[in-house]
Amino acid sequence: MHGEIVVIKYGGSSIGSGLADVIQDVLKLQQSGWKPVLVHGGGKDITSMLSRLQIEGKFVNGLRLTDAPTLDVVEMVLRGKVNLQLVAEIQKQGGKAIGLSGVDGGMIQVRQKLPELGFVGDVKSVATELLEVAVATQYIPVVAPIGMDAQGQRFNINADEAAGAIAGALQASRCIFLTDVAGVMRQSHTQSDGQPIVADTLTRQEIESMIASGEIYGGMIPKMEACLYALEAGAQLVQIVDGRKTGILAETLIEQLPHGTKIVA
């Protein structure tokens, strides 16, 4: 897959003790010819910091309510801790990385999502120049999901949405969401032991039906919306895989083993 771009969303719920293994996997992709772009979350670290600062964290339909004090914490944690941690680990393992946010170079332009969510933005557009220069020179861009509107106000962006928008803008061959589940569970389809099965492939129509029925709910809804957005915007294939499994990226993209759930148009 020489020269093919893969956007990898590394979820905050997955970041932790498995960090070194995930970065090793990302570097394997680069060495095999892929051009990785890493977009990260950091929800657990944000929640922890808000608690330490005695700022109450609130969510509306799976999205963090971001008032001015919360935005300060979000920026501090995403840009000042998680982003640096990922960049440092890539370079520790012999790779080249550059830490960015959607504010840098006006990369991610946003509009306010809903007044009741505060400084939470919807992606309007993605300028890809910085990302293209980075991958062309063998740097791995590591992007924190913070954007800016036309007036210069900064906004927190759902990391799934940011990854989907970046994948679409780059016309990425793959957009991979690393998360803490095996894939999208089909509660209406069970194994012999009564456990739900992981959907191999889902279409827009199936996803919309599962959201309407409550089979897909909470934080999985914006993830599904981000997958569909990425496809509509130009990404060729979107996949949700279990980021807790060591070697999952190499198995999925190099060995081409079946993992997780593929989202198709």
What confidence tens digit (pLDDT) does each residue in 33-44 have? Answer: 999 999 999 988
pLDDT tens-digit profile of 99-136?
A: 999 999 999 999 999 998 999 999 999 999 999 999 99
Residue 61, annotated ligand binder?
no
Give 224-237 pLDDT, tens digit per residue: 888 998 998 889 99
pLDDT (0 to 100) of residue 75: 96
pLDDT for residue 202:
92
Give the pLDDT of residue 92: 97
- For the stretch 156-171, pLDDT in tens is 998 999 999 999 999 9
43 marked ligand binding residue: yes
Question: Is pLDDT above 90 for 140?
Answer: yes
Residue 2 has pLDDT above 60, yes or no: no
> DSSP assignment of the chain, as one string?
-TT-EEEEEE-TTT-STTHHHHHHHHHHHHHTT-EEEEEE--HHHHHHHHHHTT----EETTEE-B-HHHHHHHHHHIIIIIHHHHHHHHHHTT--EEEEETTGGG-EEEEE--GGGBSBEEEEEE--HHHHHHHHTT-EEEEE-EEE-TTS-EEE--HHHHHHHHHHHTT-SEEEEEESSSS-EEEEEE-TTSPEEEPSEEEHHHHHHHHHHTSS-TTHHHHHHHHHHHHHHT-S-EEEEETTSTTHHHHHHTS----SEEEE-
Domain that holds residue 205: 5-264
Number of domains in the chain: 1
156 is in an annotated binding site: yes
Return the percentage of the chain with pLDDT > 90, whole number. 64
- Say which CATH number the domain at 178 has: 3.40.1160.10
154 carries a ligand binding annotation: no
Residue with the bigger pLDDT between 43 and 90: it is 90
